[in-house]
């Protein structure tokens, strides 16, 4: 993506993840932050710094007339514009779709929204999108921001698709990336029974699971017949069952089992806690 110029006013997680992906592919990027900065910088500085690597980060007040004028000057030279504001907020700033199309027809605009239109103004964050998609197990909070990161990847993909479209048509375009859609895409394996309780990858196959070792836990993912055969032979089991694997893996530490898995070419990994 050498030569592609990205401009972003998206803060928090999905937008910065999207921009970082595009920069990793060779694009140049400028991120415009509000005067108060990006909340991610205060909540997780190391990650903020990692996602900002290679970017030009500038503070700009879009509610100020001069600030908005500066934005449009930059937009006139940009290829991709990424936002994560709600549609009503974009309209109040003078950044509605029709305005951007009129003033910057070359722009490939990616709008990160919580919900697809006509519900784009419904508020939410990663936790609520996971809740809607059935990805939570209360009272535990999610171990990571699955939807935020997936949305960032999807937004980067949308930018690439718009650039391909522009190369063919000569015109920019707008693509919305819905966080709820990404949440439901992540939930599809569970919704279709693959990872639901008792499903093939939800406890139904003993060779795909977590086992307590003498120290720590191991993750075993021997799905293919060749892996199952090697697993059984390596553990000297006549049959791969839950009880047999629980007894076997209790004999060594998780790290020892990981080394053993490498030796016999079976996916066995120590669980990082």
Reported as a single tens digit per residue, the pLDDT across 25-44 is 999 999 999 999 999 999 99
pLDDT of residue 201: 97
pLDDT of residue 72: 96
Q: For helices 242-249 and 225-235, what crossing angle results, to 10°?
A: 50
| Residue 49 lies inside a defined structural domain of this protein | yes
The C-alpha atoms of residue 211 and residue 257 are separated, in whole angstroms, by 11
| Residue 87 lies inside a defined structural domain of this protein | yes
| Residue 30 lies inside a defined structural domain of this protein | yes
Ranges under pLDDT 50 in the chain: none
pLDDT of residue 273: 93
pLDDT of residue 155: 98
**Number of folded domains in the chain?**
2
**Final residue before a domain boundary, out of 141, 160, 189:** 189
In a shared domain, residues 16 and 114: yes
Coarse DSSP helix, strand, coil percentages of the chain, rounded to the nearest 5 percent: 45, 15, 35
pLDDT of residue 10: 98
| Residue 206 lies inside a defined structural domain of this protein | yes
In a shared domain, residues 228 and 175: no
In a shared domain, residues 176 and 247: no
In a shared domain, residues 139 and 239: no
Give the residue from 200, 204, 183 showing the smallest Cα distance to 134. Answer: 183
CATH of the domain at 60: 3.40.50.10540
| Residue 82 lies inside a defined structural domain of this protein | yes
pLDDT of residue 180: 98
The C-alpha atoms of residue 10 and residue 38 are separated, in whole angstroms, by 9
pLDDT of residue 43: 97
DSSP reduced 3-state for 71: helix
**Bridge-based pairing state of the strands 208-212 and 217-221:** antiparallel
Per the structure, the complete domain to which residue 226 belongs is given by: 200-270
In a shared domain, residues 63 and 83: yes
Instruction: Give the pTM.
Output: 0.94
The residues near 132 (Cβ < 8 Å, ≥ 6 apart) are 180, 183, 184
In a shared domain, residues 50 and 149: yes
pLDDT of residue 257: 98
Instruction: Produce one character per residue of 187-212: b if its CB has 16 or more CB atoms within 10 Å, e if not.
Output: beebeeeebbeeeebbeebbbbbebe
pLDDT of residue 263: 97
In a shared domain, residues 124 and 258: no
CATH of the domain at 241: 3.30.1540.10
pLDDT of residue 118: 95
| Residue 194 lies inside a defined structural domain of this protein | no
- Tally of CA atoms within 13 A in the half-sphere of 9 that contains its CB: 25
Please say whether the beta carbons of 159 and 83 come within 8 A. no
| Residue 195 lies inside a defined structural domain of this protein | no
């Amino acid at each position: 993506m050498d030569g592609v110029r990205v401009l972003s006013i998206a803060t928090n997680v999905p937008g910065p993840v999207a921009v970082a992906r595009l920069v990793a592919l060779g694009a140049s990027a400028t991120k415009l932050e509000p005067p108060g900065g990006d909340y991610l910088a205060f909540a997780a500085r190391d990650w903020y710094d990692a996602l900002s690597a290679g970017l030009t980060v500038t503070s700009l007040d879009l509610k100020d007339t001069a600030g908005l004028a500066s934005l449009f000057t930059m937009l006139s030279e940009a290829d991709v514009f990424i936002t994560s504001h709600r549609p009503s907020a974009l309209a109040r700033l003078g950044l509605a779709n029709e305005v951007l199309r009129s003033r910057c027809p070359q722009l490939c605009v990616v709008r990160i929204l919580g919900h697809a239109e006509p519900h784009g103004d419904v508020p939410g964050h990663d936790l609520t999108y996971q809740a809607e998609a059935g990805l939570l197990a209360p009272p535990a909070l999610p171990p990571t921001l699955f939807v935020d990161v997936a949305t960032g990847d999807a937004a980067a993909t949308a930018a690439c698709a718009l650039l391909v479209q522009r190369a063919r048509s000569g015109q920019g375009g707008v693509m919305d990336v819905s966080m709820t859609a990404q949440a439901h895409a992540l939930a599809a394996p569970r919704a279709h029974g693959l990872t639901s309780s008792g499903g093939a990858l939800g406890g139904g196959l003993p060779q795909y699971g977590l086992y307590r070792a003498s120290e720590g836990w191991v993750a075993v993912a021997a799905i293919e017949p060749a892996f199952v055969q090697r697993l059984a032979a390596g553990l000297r089991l006549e049959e791969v069952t839950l009880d047999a694997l629980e007894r076997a893996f209790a004999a060594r530490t998780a790290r020892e089992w990981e080394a053993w898995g490498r030796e016999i070419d079976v996916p066995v990994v120590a669980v990082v806690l």
